[in-house]
Structure 1
């Protein structure tokens, strides 16, 4: 809910558990007053202090008042070049060569419902479940006007931010930096938490105290990246899963981003989040506007767990647009780790028959089905069936798969092209590369110029012809290299700084076209696994392949870090063969199943190589998935312990909204002699209810399980428990 005090120009945003307040002062500076746990309605202006600070200059409006400086005031959206030397939100290069952005308040209005962003992902809500605040600022000299957009989804504790920049002057302006979010804290005793790693080791949690200066993470790879995720947290130093105030901030964007936080000389802090300024320069002609991606904020007064559940709820109900949202997603098996490129029609059918006999419901044909592709060096862009492998084409395969009672899914990589392809021979200028420069290749691939409508049209038409010819229920949309030599033949010199962003807009445009044309087809995102796991992609692809690393023990850490912002149902998680191809580790099939069953479930293996006992276990895992689907996919998720290198078990739980049913999952680490007896304290149960656990005759009061804990048996190395709790 949004309150506007028109006399004092105070704006207060309330969610269920948080309050956000700002004020336009008499000089037109929009001051940030408060963001934190929900408080009573009150003018918080007395929290702002003034003092004469050396080397902090004073704007013209205040004359000789040396106590008023943009360098010392908490601001809602910081400019640059006008006296604030902290992290800027907006940098403008003006036609006279100056770099000054000095924004002052013009007006504000409140609207029912949630704003939307044309061509960009954004949270959505029915009109009665959200409100929008639009605050207009302007740089009086350049006549650049800025609309600060705030969306409030009260029940989810979610506040969204976006910025619309309009050139109302008579000369071109270049935007050099445009953050989606600026958040000032009048104290810097905070921890900064980021989620970092690399390919096959994504989203590991890193926590550090704020130090003087700037700390940042980001990506200049053209994708949000395996290395750093566009979700960060700030929290009190003692905050944990259940205690302390914490702030989560996410950027709904799948390209270059920067999350930066600065601890200033006066012991305050500023967080900015938005498009990375690397190689970014957007030319804004008179009358034109530019819109930043959306940022999303959640403040939890009660630790990380509450923050995560609010993000999970918002993503589930107000971000993803899932054709399977109101029905159970099928259990799938992917062909990749079973035989890579080495298959023919008969082998595929035998593979599918084996899968159907065990209860698997969808067969996904991965790489190698198109052009003349027998390895990863050819045919990307030639989106027609390889008839040596598929004599009847995809339509024939589709009919045979359907006859087995299975649905058919398909792997594609639309953003790439191989030099050994008909598409490249016909259109070599369709790749990103400056003239006269040798190519930089990744996985033998070049990147198609998705800034160009004709390129997107070709890809859409070629793939849509396939989808029209066969019954395909699922697409795995992959992207297997970072962007280099980022230059478009379709843009003039002065607009080459727009290519990175226009590329992302092109990806979003094509994804939306596929969604509209194929409303019953589920699209799963992928970028070498988790290289583009962000809320922007989730708007178009409601689940994402969490990592190319399918080792169950490594996946504990990957899925743990991912869960801080992203709910389990968004995480593509499969049971793969052992020894694992990434780690060489052998983990029991039951443990591999327990880990994968807490995501979007499936298999990556040659089922014919399993023993009869293992096949029976696969069939049981599939039944477990079907029976616990609503609990895992729609329940509340609780991290009970963090993955540990010392052998301690990793534990988590899924709890139904009414708290009457829960699923406890535990996986042990490496074993050592003389292991301790361990008790596990659960969370999220109803204290007054009594629960019966699988295989346990005792009725356990909820408060006992949460306060005293449940006695874990001593587990062998990489062993697991998966226990259902039901209230009686």
Structure 2
């Protein structure tokens, strides 16, 4: 067993960690989360002190006992804990105080599921569930805390359900999914910020008194802040130090907040952002909060990342393409934008086939009146005049060439210049009488409405069933503004943000079940919805609209802290790059894109013969290394290039018999410094051979002495070192 209860102590054990809490005076007190401590009762760490202006709970005369000074498992508002809370409720009488006390618990085999929400599932792993019931007896409000324990993955999941068991309606003003209290403050806060075309840039700052907060109020998890954070020792690195990760399995508004308190304790909370959140619960109704994936590593951020990679790859991603080999694709967007027809696409397909590429994806512009980004969204009818025939004719033509066929959709969006908007203007998110804010000349469909989802679902199904379509790129190119639904009364408009995401998940569940053999790739202007929640439905997500290989080094570095390579959509694009104007060698572009699902984003018919031969070689290399890249352990060997003159990363097979080291040298210098890259994860006692040079090294030599990086003759040059165990 991984979950134990004895003498009011709950102990949750994984292979390398222990999470513990205690029922103390009917309050649920957090006692410990960290390295495995076995059967030790860690409640000796609970201490009492009379701290001025920290009040005492009802019925407790001991001035040293205050909720304001204890480590709490799920703090609520209004009963003397003045720190950040997880639950705020407005009751019918206008009060907002909730006093939660322990009632009962249950330990169950297997992993809990969440109705209407994505969550880690058990799969082939052993998992157990702990449910703890807390109750405010005065208002008859019940909170069910869920804990899922994956012993071998060192993963503990957190979620909760709020149940109104009273006789009057209530309004939830804040429901966070998790609180994690520490009795120390000497830690760093690591988060991943960015913008469109430059997402998930790692930033690390020491904790300070007050609240450090990241989040999104944009309706999506966003390009600006990713719903994944780390708290770690000040001196923690890739291979040493205590690290605590929290990944929010949700694709909408979120908040992650770290607060250092008056007593130098730290509180980490995570959940749905409470901006414009006001959710009504009638008597006997319940609200389920999304899941947080917690992970602890005593071996630094490298091991923390590998723990998340394995959990997401095998226990979050689902369906055929969870582990099946993904096709190497070419997308026509940067090749043609809106200007294409069937013959142009077939030309690309013919050339792609010669070079070993396996799928052609037709991007935006194939439907309705859609020759630019001003019109047509919502009119999901094939523009046969533009294509010069039926969609099936194009798909059959691509298949006859020997390629699979994929297609682009943007289901959540609508153009005002569309037949759908003219017929149903109330289907868009906008406030009556107020001019809406537009993004990319489009509005957002109200996916909280079932009638809207049903219509779009039927249109997508008709397209997908019309021909042999094996891939869908699902895009969403703006964030939510003017959030108001025509179907909800005024007092329930605070539910729209969350109901939109619930509707999106409902749609995604239905369409992925309807088309189990289709590979769905998520996208929101690139990485604007790159989160574990979306990975439950989309096993890969377009990492960024920025396809510049040098920029991608920084983007993919930050992405690697939480997300496996198998989820990272990465393509080779044309140079000069369409976003930055930078030119980088075809070889380097290929090496960088191989740290993902791999494909091409260019007009392959216009490449030089030399570049075409390079593409052919890259395709063969990626196929050769596919299992190692997708399934191997991932190691960051340098930083993202902001300090290091080189950027290097590595894939190591599970049996440690093979490794692929990737290095990009950023800038050449006159009279240059010499660099070694220190390989990781090998067997120190075994001999490895560099496949290209034939040179042999012990694992210990490569890890401690390093591999000499060749001196490059130009900026942004790359090298791959394939190491094979000597027989």
The match for 2:572 is 575
The match for 1:333 is 330
The match for 2:708 is 711
The match for 2:648 is 651
Displacement after TM superposition at 1:345 (Å): 1.7
Unaligned stretches of 5+ residues in structure 1: none
Q: Separation in 2 of the partners of 1:586 and 1:322?
A: 38
The answer as to 2:357 corresponding to 1:360 is yes
Contact 1:108/1:134 (8 A) holds in 2: yes
Q: TM-score, normalised by structure 2?
A: 0.99
Displacement after TM superposition at 1:60 (Å): 1.2
The match for 2:300 is 303
Q: Separation in 2 of the partners of 1:128 and 1:227?
A: 34
Inter-CA distance 60–327: structure 2 relative to 1 (3 Å threshold): closer
Displacement after TM superposition at 1:128 (Å): 6.5
The match for 2:2 is 2
The match for 2:31 is 33
Q: Note the alpha carbon deviations across 1:220-254, whole angstroms, 9 max, x for none.
A: 00000000000000000000000100011000000
The answer as to 2:373 corresponding to 1:376 is yes
Unaligned stretches of 5+ residues in structure 2: none
**Counterpart secondary structure, 1:96:** coil
Q: Separation in 2 of the partners of 1:602 and 1:303?
A: 32
Q: Note the alpha carbon deviations across 1:576-607, whole angstroms, 9 max, x for none.
A: 00011111100000000000011010000011
Displacement after TM superposition at 1:127 (Å): 8.1
Displacement after TM superposition at 1:647 (Å): 6.3
Q: Separation in 2 of the partners of 1:510 and 1:4?
A: 38
Contact 1:248/1:307 (8 A) holds in 2: yes
Q: Separation in 1 of the partners of 2:391 and 2:224?
A: 36
Displacement after TM superposition at 1:387 (Å): 1.0
**Counterpart secondary structure, 1:618:** helix
Kindly report which structure 2 residues correspond to 1:186-197, keeping only aligned pairs within 5 A, or say none.
186-197=183-194
Q: Separation in 1 of the partners of 2:528 and 2:680?
A: 31
Contact 2:413/2:442 (8 A) holds in 1: yes
Inter-CA distance 223–326: structure 2 relative to 1 (3 Å threshold): closer
Contact 1:13/1:21 (8 A) holds in 2: yes
Contact 2:12/2:149 (8 A) holds in 1: yes
Inter-CA distance 438–467: structure 2 relative to 1 (3 Å threshold): same
Q: Note the alpha carbon deviations across 1:622-662, whole angstroms, 9 max, x for none.
A: 00111111000011000000122456110000000000000
The answer as to 2:601 corresponding to 1:604 is yes
Contact 2:147/2:156 (8 A) holds in 1: yes
Contact 2:229/2:247 (8 A) holds in 1: yes
Counterpart selection for 2:130 from 107, 114, 133: 133
Displacement after TM superposition at 1:344 (Å): 1.5
Q: Separation in 1 of the partners of 2:348 and 2:123?
A: 45
Counterpart selection for 1:46 from 44, 47, 50: 44
Contact 2:239/2:299 (8 A) holds in 1: yes
Counterpart selection for 2:725 from 708, 724, 727: 727
Contact 1:112/1:127 (8 A) holds in 2: no
Q: TM-score, normalised by structure 1?
A: 0.99
- Larger displacement relative to structure 2 (552-561 or 676-685): 676-685
Q: Separation in 1 of the partners of 2:492 and 2:166?
A: 19
Q: Note the alpha carbon deviations across 1:304-340, whole angstroms, 9 max, x for none.
A: 0100001001011101014223432111000000010
The answer as to 2:497 corresponding to 1:500 is yes
Displacement after TM superposition at 1:688 (Å): 1.1
- Larger displacement relative to structure 2 (119-128 or 36-45): 119-128
The match for 1:423 is 420
Aligned residue-pair number: 725
**Counterpart secondary structure, 2:458:** helix
Q: Note the alpha carbon deviations across 1:370-404, whole angstroms, 9 max, x for none.
A: 00110010110000111122232211111111101
Q: Separation in 1 of the partners of 2:718 and 2:3?
A: 51
The match for 2:687 is 690
The answer as to 2:227 corresponding to 1:216 is no
The match for 1:345 is 342
Contact 2:319/2:516 (8 A) holds in 1: no
Q: Separation in 1 of the partners of 2:517 and 2:719?
A: 36
**Counterpart secondary structure, 2:68:** coil
Contact 2:429/2:482 (8 A) holds in 1: yes
RMSD of aligned alpha carbons: 1.0
The answer as to 2:151 corresponding to 1:154 is yes
Inter-CA distance 647–635: structure 2 relative to 1 (3 Å threshold): closer
Kindly report which structure 2 residues correspond to 1:102-121, keeping only aligned pairs within 5 A, or say none.
102-121=99-118
Contact 1:681/1:706 (8 A) holds in 2: yes
Kindly report which structure 2 residues correspond to 1:192-203, keeping only aligned pairs within 5 A, or say none.
192-203=189-200
Contact 2:692/2:722 (8 A) holds in 1: no
Q: Separation in 2 of the partners of 1:670 and 1:377?
A: 41
The match for 2:449 is 452
The answer as to 2:260 corresponding to 1:263 is yes
Q: Note the alpha carbon deviations across 1:104-123, whole angstroms, 9 max, x for none.
A: 10011100000001110000
Displacement after TM superposition at 1:435 (Å): 1.2
Q: Separation in 2 of the partners of 1:617 and 1:672?
A: 26
Q: Note the alpha carbon deviations across 1:9-49, whole angstroms, 9 max, x for none.
A: 11000111111000011x21100000011112111111011
Displacement after TM superposition at 1:185 (Å): 0.4
Contact 2:213/2:255 (8 A) holds in 1: yes
Q: Separation in 2 of the partners of 1:323 and 1:56?
A: 55
**Counterpart secondary structure, 1:676:** coil
Q: Separation in 1 of the partners of 2:354 and 2:2?
A: 56
- Larger displacement relative to structure 2 (380-389 or 673-682): 673-682
Kindly report which structure 2 residues correspond to 1:263-302, keeping only aligned pairs within 5 A, or say none.
263-302=260-299
